[in-house]
Amino acid sequence: MTQPQGKLDVAIVGAGIAGVIALYYARRAGLRARLFDAQPGVGGLWRQLPAWQDIQIAAADWTVGDLPLGGTFQPHILANIEAWVERFGLAADISLTTPVRATPRPGGWALATPDGEVAATHLVAATGAHNRPFMPAVRRVSSAVTELHSSALTDPAVLAGQSVLVVGAGASSLDLLDLSVQHGARDIAWAHRGLRWFTPTRKPKAVAGSVRELSRLQASGMTHAQQSAAIESDLRGRYDKFGLRAIVPAFAFDILHHQVMPGRHRMIEHFASIRRLPATPEVIEGTTVTLSDGTTLRPDLLLWGTGYTTDLSWLDVPALAAVRNTQELRQRCGGVFRSLDAPQLYFTAVGLDGVGSTSFAFSLSCRSIMSHIRGTADLGLERITHNVNHFDLVPFLAARDPASFPVGWQKAYRDLQLGTPDDQPYPIPG
């Protein structure tokens, strides 16, 4: 690593899509910035995920401008993140293979690195809201069951002919069920403690995951309650159409607090052949898995589709190092992105979990964070306890960052919202 000379205006930790975009906007703002990551290359979690992993949204919703995106799977997403670095010449300000320990100091931050201490006035945490694979604690007694978290299933071909137990209720579990069908598992059991809303469809995720319809609902002037009711009505109709009434969640859909995720068409088409068990593993003894309802199974493979937790252990701030999920982190932030526990600390992914974790949303967010750091915006410290989805970000940020939203922004963004074809990305916010 080339050691920065003098104090940085802003240090960014995490070289995934949010971190790379943050560096791009820091440069545009004329700030002295550097991006640090423990891995040997950019990409964040997308550098670690298996090649079959794809995004939860359409390709046009992931990328912005004309940055290349050859597809929606892990190699394509990693290449898109790398394209940001190459297109805008960011590599000179990126320190790779450089883990950090960040400690608040008077007037800023001290970052301990393998090559010495780096001082920065501001710190942007871009390590992601879901960055550590999570597997619930269970009792194991001479376990002989092969267990894999979704992030560790590097070759789905191993599912062929196997008896599979998938655990979880979120996006990862739906992926694993779909893969088990696709690759010919002999039988499939699905254990889950709760249920989450998803969009039943026969279309691939890359199509079904489009968030442009939500954009149109937002542009129509509907309240959040009306948007939620419209989405739930559509979802219930789809559950009925595909014979999925047994897994309709017992709670009402709420756009401000729930994720909108696409269904997996193979899992839906073969739903009747999946043994569903509303319980969770408690004991694994030998080759037997005992669930919380007393059911016993003897799977060849136990696949954990239990998602990810938030790991902020690199921050020397006990209240933040203890955070384990986005809901906890959101409670510790004001103005969506600003930490309430440490001064001059910002989180790029808070509040975007519903449908907004896209390059466009990160661009809007990072542009305003850098504007705040420059002193031309004030994000405030008001707690926002719900998702700020997609184009809801625009009026939220415009009220706090007038420098980035000049006169006429309402019409400009509405035209963008309604005039951009569904298969075309939005431009990079200037």
Q: What are phi and psi of 85, to 5 degrees?
A: -65, -45
**pLDDT over 60 (residue 1):** no
Q: Is 167 in a helix, a strand, or coil?
A: strand
Quote the pLDDT of residue 339. 98
Quote the pLDDT of residue 356. 63
Mean pLDDT of 129-155: 95
Quote the pLDDT of residue 354. 77
pLDDT band (50, 70, 90) for residue 61:
very high
Measured between its terminal Cα atoms, the distance across the chain in Å is: 30
Quote the pLDDT of residue 3. 61
Distance CA 323, CA 311 (A): 7
64 beta partners? 426
**pLDDT over 70 (residue 2):** no
Q: Is 359 in a helix, a strand, or coil?
A: helix
Tokens of 322: 């203890």
**What b/e string do you get for 282-293 counting C-beta neighbours within 10 Å, with b at 16 or more?**
eebeeeebbbee
Superfamily of domain 8-131+310-419: FAD/NAD(P)-binding domain (3.50.50.60)
Quote the pLDDT of residue 98. 98
Cβ contacts of 229-237, under 8 Å, gap ≥ 24: 231/255, 231/260, 232/197, 235/197, 235/198, 235/199, 235/200
Select from 349, 354, 359, 352 the least CA-distant residue to 63.
359
Contacts of 372 (CB under 8 A, 6+ apart): 338, 346, 378, 379, 400, 401
What torsion do the CA atoms of 21, 23, 26, 31 make, to the nearest 10 degrees?
180
Tokens of 311: 């790991």
Quote the pLDDT of residue 351. 83
Tokens 């790779």 map to which residue? 96
Q: Which residues of the chain form CATH 3.50.50.60?
A: 8-131+310-419, 134-307
Select from 190, 179, 214 the least CA-distant residue to 58.
214
Quote the pLDDT of residue 260. 82
Supply the pTM of this predicted model.
0.96
Please, where are the H alpha helices in 289-408?
A: 318-321, 326-331, 359-374, 393-398
**pLDDT over 80 (residue 4):** no
Superfamily of domain 134-307: FAD/NAD(P)-binding domain (3.50.50.60)
Tell me the pLDDT of the chain averaged across its residues: 95
